[in-house]
Structure 1
Amino acid sequence: MELAEIRRKRRMVRRYDPAAPVPEDALERILDAGLRVPSAGFTQGVSLLVLDGPDKQRYWEITTDPEAPPDRWLAGMQTAPVLIVVWTDRTAYLDRYAEPDKGWIDRDPVRWTAPYWYVDAGMNTLALLYAAVDEGLGACFFGVPPDRIGPVRAAFGVPEHHELIGVVSVGRPAEVAARSRRGRRSAEELVHRGLWGHAG
């Protein structure tokens, strides 16, 4: 599929066909795409935790309230056959930029114009979303309640210095009724040429 077509087709999918598993070869290609993205200093500090079957069920048990019935969003997301939890390692970036070819030996994060451990995780996540579309599947990126991150880390053995960025659900989209969409902001509002507020 051409990249332009992937960009047009990509949307956040919030309900999946539970009878349609993600083929293993397709999942491997999606994961590979997520790892083949730009990385500051080629640090490669973003890691992926893949959950399906009982592991996926365990994730939902940890991150949701068993006493509360799932709302429409949650009920839909729980139909995803695969979850990919995206983690980033800030210490890996600080260590990498303290190496001789970079030379920031004090490891002070204030030197960074932006925390690139998050930037790289965003690039990784977008690559996962695009790759899912390329495989004829759907995907959605969503966050994790902050008070559940520690239990998720503990349940799946994730080292303490890895930060949870979010989760990408993957599966075959279910047929759902059309819903109203928020309008896309125009390029004139978002693209500034030479001077802020100047689009032409």
Structure 2
Amino acid sequence: MEFQDVVRRRRMVREFTDEPVSDESLQRILRNALRGPSAGFSQGQGFLVLQGDELKRFWEYGAAWTHETVKTAPVVIIPLSVKNVYLDRYAREDKGWTDRDEARWPVPFWDIDTGMATLLILQTVVDEGLGAVYTGIGPEAVKKLRADFGVPEDHEPIGVVALGHAAETEASPGSSVRKVARRAFDDVVRFGHW
């Protein structure tokens, strides 16, 4: 598939068939996520992949913040941001800092880089002929997620990607894209000066 087609076709899919995702597709999706930008090549991400019974257990406490049809996805990937990896990396000699001071970071690159890796997941899903939805994870679920799946305290979930074979061919009726128009290019982009 051409890259522009991947960008154009990427959308949030909220209902999936029961067809499994091949191991080959899942490996490609995850390997591409590892190719995302990373400040100082810190590589401070982790990805928890849930399938089968693990997935059923996860959805037991995900009901409050996820539409029921999303639970039909055969795979969930939870991208995790690891701030400590970035702070440690930038305290090394080649970066010129001698401490782990968070004040040096005007924005949390650990979350930004993990978000970019997540976009690569979403784009690769499209390129594989699959569908996916990215959704937030409720704060009340994070503690249980850590306990149930052994997620380390310094790994912060930034959301959930549910993926599989799409059961829908267009945006679902409840989708925001049906209610809100895409902002015009000239309303968003400025060249040279705002």
Fold shared, TM-score > 0.5 on shorter chain: yes
Q: Which residue of 2 aligns with 1:189?
A: 187
Report if aligned partners of 2:49, 2:75 keep a CA contact under 8 Å in 1.
yes
Name 2:39's counterpart in structure 1.
Answer: 40
Mapping of 1:103-142 within 5 angstroms? Answer: 103-142=96-135
Deviation at residue 113 of structure 1 after TM alignment: 2.4
TM superposition shift of 1:177: 6.8
Aligned to 1:49: 48
| Partner SS for 2:129 | coil
Structure 2 residue aligned with 1:7: 7
CA distance in 2, matches of 1:41, 1:157: 27
Query: How far 1:181 sits from its partner (Å)?
Result: 4.5
The number of equivalent residue pairs is 189
* Distance across 1 between alignment mates of 2:107 and 2:140: 25
Between 168-177 and 42-51, report the one with greater CA deviation: 168-177
Partner Cα distance (1:57, 1:171) in 2: 15
**What's the % identity of the aligned pairs?**
47
Measured in 2, the distance between the counterparts of 1:32 and 1:176 equals 27
Q: Which digits, 9 at most, give the CA deviation of each residue in 1:128-173, with x for residues without a partner?
A: 0000000000011101110110110111001111111011111011
For residues 163-193 of structure 1, what are the alpha-carbon distances to aligned partners after superposition, in whole Å with 9 as ceiling and x for unaligned? 1101111101103675325211011111111
Q: Which runs of 5+ in 1 are unaligned?
A: 66-70
- AA aligned opposite 2:52: G
Q: Which amino acid aligns with 1:55?
A: E
Residue type of the alignment partner of 2:32: A
CA-CA distance at 1:106 after TM superposition: 2.1
SS for the counterpart of 1:44 is coil
Judging by fraction of residues, say which structure has more helix.
2
Structure 2 stretches of 5 or more lacking a match?
none
Task: Supply the AA of the counterpart residue of 2:29.
Answer: I
Q: TM-score, normalised by structure 2?
A: 0.93
